Amino acid sequence: MKVSKKMETLKSYIDSKGLKSTSQRDFIAETFFKSNTHISLDELLKKVKRKTPNIGYATVYRTMKLLTEGGLAISRQFGDGQTRYENLPEDGHHDHLICIKCSRITEFQNQRIEQLQSETAKKHGFTVINHKLELYGYCSECM
Amino acid sequence: MKVSKKMETLKSYIDSKGLKSTSQRDFIAETFFKSNTHISLDELLKKVKRKTPNIGYATVYRTMKLLTEGGLAISRQFGDGQTRYENLPEDGHHDHLICIKCSRITEFQNQRIEQLQSETAKKHGFTVINHKLELYGYCSECM
DNA sequence: AATGAAAATGGATATTATTATCATTCTATT
DNA sequence: AATAGAATGATAATAATATCCATTTTCATT
């Protein structure tokens, strides 16, 4: 999904909830949508402050909470004690290979796994909204 | 693995590291090994204190850290802000269905998914040590 | 364009979870 | 039994997350 499209989706979501638009929130959301890493609140705040120094931490925090609730961001915990936020992938869901030595994170996709997941969930009467698959181990360089 | 067997493994691990045995640690470990939920430090401390009221939080914390390092416990973060500890599964790896409304956690197994994971990892030159698969959504009761 | 109710902001503070500190106690080897 | 090193437990420090509140902004309705 393109950034502009995401901004539209956000606007609809805000409207549907009876909330109001603000320039700060728009800018934070746009900055996040343009980032392509697993960004933490601190990192996002730093980025935002480059152009808009007087934006507060709380606003960034609340914006990311809003985006997460609205399905425009995915919050993740990789075990380093910080929540990180990830953009919706352009091309379907992806999962992670995490090197426990060098911390490198590689993304991958496997349609068949996705399919099996849905089937399994259905078997348990479960409706899946989101999922996380993380493989921890050693990357080729650290082996 | 049986509790008694786990206690032995722990003892070996402690010996191999040149550490010393204590009754507190043994009791905490045993209590954890007997629990079958995804227990948090607070919950474990509460359990432990029923029989041994003067055990401190720090000891429970350190014991769980030790068990995790020794491979006798698995630490997980499901997004509720608390690290939870899980026992080694008796019968191979299992994954989680997590209800984002009532927080109920259901376990499931799917051998085929495991297999596909290994294959995918291999394709990326990755050696998998451990993995997490979590499906977030609504359980049948919260739908 | 002005109004006003509701929402958002941002700086600060509160809360919560995790980790470190340290004096004292305990363990296990000699 | 002596002793060195590890463990304990109460508390303090740190860090991440969540909330508070006075002020400002938004936007539907005049």
Q: Which residue ranges of chain B lie beneath pLDDT 70?
A: 90-92, 100-103, 143
Cβ contact B2 with chain D strand, < 7 A: no
Q: Do A137 and B125 touch (CB under 8 A)?
A: no
Distance A141 CA to D6 C1' (A): 37
Q: Which helix (H) or strand (E) holds A39?
A: strand A39-40
Residues 4-43 of A with CB under 7 A from strand C: 14, 18-20, 22, 24-25
| Coil, strand or helix at A106 | strand
Computed over every residue of chain B, the mean pLDDT equals: 88
pLDDT digits (tens, 9 = 90+) for B15-39: 999 999 999 999 999 999 999 888 9
- Residue-by-residue pLDDT tens, chain A, 143 positions: 789 999 999 999 999 999 999 999 999 999 999 997 889 999 999 999 999 999 999 999 999 999 998 889 988 888 788 899 988 766 566 788 888 767 778 888 888 988 999 899 999 998 887 788 888 888 888 87
Nearest residue to B64 via CA among B53, B76, B55, B73: B73
Q: Which residues of A touch B130 (CB under 8 A)?
A: 135-137
Q: Which residue has the tokens 């953009």?
A: A87
pLDDT of A90: 62
Q: Do B129 and A120 touch (CB under 8 A)?
A: no
Q: Which residue has the tokens 């026992």?
A: B87
> Using CA atoms, how far apart are residues B121 and A32, in angstroms rounded to an integer?
29
The whole-model pTM stands at 0.76
Please give the order of strands across the beta sheet that includes A39-40. Answer: A39-40, A83-87, A73-77
Cβ contact A56 with chain C strand, < 7 A: yes
Q: Do A140 and B126 touch (CB under 8 A)?
A: yes
pLDDT of B103: 67
Burial B35-68 (b: 16+ CB within 10 A, else e): eeebbbbeebbebbeeeeeebeeebbeebbebbe
> Using CA atoms, how far apart are residues B74 and B89, in angstroms rounded to an integer?
10
Alpha carbon of A51: minimum distance to chain B alpha carbons (Å):
31
Nearest residue of chain A to residue B84 (CA atoms):
A79
Nearest residue of chain B to residue A113 (CA atoms):
B113
pLDDT digits (tens, 9 = 90+) for B61-77: 999 999 998 889 988 88
Nearest residue of chain B to residue A83 (CA atoms):
B79
Q: For chain B, how far is it from start to end, CA to CA, in angstroms?
A: 36
pLDDT of A111: 87
